[in-house]
């Protein structure tokens, strides 16, 4: 039930959902005063949430800061959180999304000798297609590019970040209890992920990837021109903030 409610909530907190609701009400209402006010608020929200500078500042405040390789020692494993790919059944192949930086950065850490193992955690994040386990597909991909099975560990039953932590804890206790771990995820997601893993009793160092806030810029287009991508990025950020609050209330953090 929690899994389904989280999907519904993700839709309700999208800025475009609010904007479309205001525009529809503005079109539907016969009251001219309300029509003007709701249309005005729809335009105000559109301007705010399509502004790349505003989004970057908000994301910069939320994201976990990245750390350089020079500050790292050797770790027993990089724990990589899923949510970075989809399965294309027509082509029978994995298709990576923006979060794939999590996996590629973990591979870089392994190649540089900074981690001994890669632990990937992630089952199915779909309500309708529970049969597509992300870990299974990522495993095939990593094997196909020559990563030895001896360094790969997979958890394929979890559906969310809380379950990632709980189920990974069981695996780590059996293969490397009390080890040193890097927790690898997108910068915007690491606050919630770190909290869940701490709660589960896994001590980790956060390794931020897939960062969304770029360098601070004071350029005309960045400051003033609407950016359609900023709208979707705001949805992602708001979803993460609400998710963090929900997890906190639920005792997952």
pLDDT (tens digit, 9 = 90+) per residue, 81-123?
Answer: 999 998 888 888 899 998 999 999 999 999 999 999 999 999 8
Would 219 be classed as within a structural domain?
A: no
Given this model, what pLDDT does residue 101 score? 96
Q: How far apart are CA 165 and CA 121, in angstroms?
A: 8
Q: Is the pLDDT of residue 59 over 70?
A: yes
- Whether 55 and 83 map to the same domain: the answer is no
- Whether 155 and 195 map to the same domain: the answer is yes
- Whether 87 and 155 map to the same domain: the answer is yes
Q: How far apart are CA 80 and CA 189, in angstroms?
A: 12
- Whether 144 and 190 map to the same domain: the answer is yes
Domain that includes residue 22, residue range? 2-63+229-250
Which pTM value belongs to this model?
0.86
In total, how many domains does the chain have? 2
Q: Please give the angle made by the CA atoms of 214, 181 and 68, to the nearest 5 degrees.
A: 35
- Whether 82 and 190 map to the same domain: the answer is yes
Would 138 be classed as within a structural domain?
A: yes
Taking all residues of the chain, what is their mean pLDDT, rounded to a whole number?
A: 90
The runs of H, that is alpha helices, within 154-189 are 161-175
Q: How far apart are CA 50 and CA 47, in angstroms?
A: 5
Q: Please give the angle made by the CA atoms of 74, 107 and 204, to the nearest 5 degrees.
A: 45
Given this model, what pLDDT does residue 21 score? 92
Would 215 be classed as within a structural domain?
A: no
Would 76 be classed as within a structural domain?
A: yes
Given this model, what pLDDT does residue 197 score? 97
- Whether 118 and 41 map to the same domain: the answer is no
Question: Any idea which residue has 């800025």 for tokens?
Answer: 15
- Whether 50 and 147 map to the same domain: the answer is no
- Whether 108 and 182 map to the same domain: the answer is yes
Would 223 be classed as within a structural domain?
A: no
- Whether 50 and 87 map to the same domain: the answer is no
Position 56 confidence tier, pLDDT thresholds 50, 70, 90: very high
- Whether 99 and 59 map to the same domain: the answer is no
Q: Is the pLDDT of residue 3 over 60?
A: no
Task: Determine the average pLDDT of the residues in 2-22.
Answer: 76
- CA dihedral 129→233→85→12, nearest 10 degrees, is -10
Q: How far apart are CA 186 and CA 131, in angstroms?
A: 25
Each residue's pLDDT tens digit, 119-178: 999 987 555 556 678 999 999 999 999 999 999 999 999 989 999 999 999 999 998 888
- Whether 131 and 149 map to the same domain: the answer is yes
What CATH code is carried by the domain that includes residue 154?
A: 3.40.50.620
- Whether 20 and 83 map to the same domain: the answer is no
Would 140 be classed as within a structural domain?
A: yes
Would 220 be classed as within a structural domain?
A: no
Given this model, what pLDDT does residue 177 score? 86
- Among 204, 219, 208, smallest CA distance to 66 is for 208
């Amino acid at each position: 039930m929690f899994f389904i409610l989280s999907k519904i909530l993700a839709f309700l907190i999208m800025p475009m959902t609010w904007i479309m609701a205001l525009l529809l009400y503005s079109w539907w209402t016969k009251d001219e005063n309300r029509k003007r006010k709701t249309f005005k608020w729809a335009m105000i929200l559109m301007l705010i949430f399509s502004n790349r500078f505003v989004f970057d500042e908000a994301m910069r405040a939320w994201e976990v800061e990245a750390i350089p390789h020079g500050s790292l020692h050797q770790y027993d494993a990089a724990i990589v959180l899923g949510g970075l790919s989809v399965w294309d059944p027509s082509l029978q192949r994995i298709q990576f999304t923006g979060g794939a930086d999590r996996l590629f950065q973990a591979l870089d850490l392994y190649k540089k000798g900074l981690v001994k193992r890669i632990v990937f955690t992630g089952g199915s994040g779909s309500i309708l297609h529970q049969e597509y386990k992300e870990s299974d597909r990522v495993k095939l991909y990593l094997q196909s590019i020559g990563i030895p099975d001896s360094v790969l560990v997979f958890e394929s039953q979890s559906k969310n970040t809380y379950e990632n932590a709980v189920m990974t804890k069981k695996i780590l206790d059996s293969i490397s209890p009390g080890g040193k771990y890097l927790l690898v995820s997108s910068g915007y997601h690491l606050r919630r992920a770190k909290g869940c893993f701490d709660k589960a009793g896994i001590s980790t160092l956060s390794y931020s990837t897939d960062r969304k806030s770029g360098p601070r810029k004071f350029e005309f287009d960045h400051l003033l021109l609407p950016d359609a991508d900023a709208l979707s990025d705001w949805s992602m950020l708001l979803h993460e903030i609400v998710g963090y609050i929900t997890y906190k209330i639920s005792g997952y953090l």
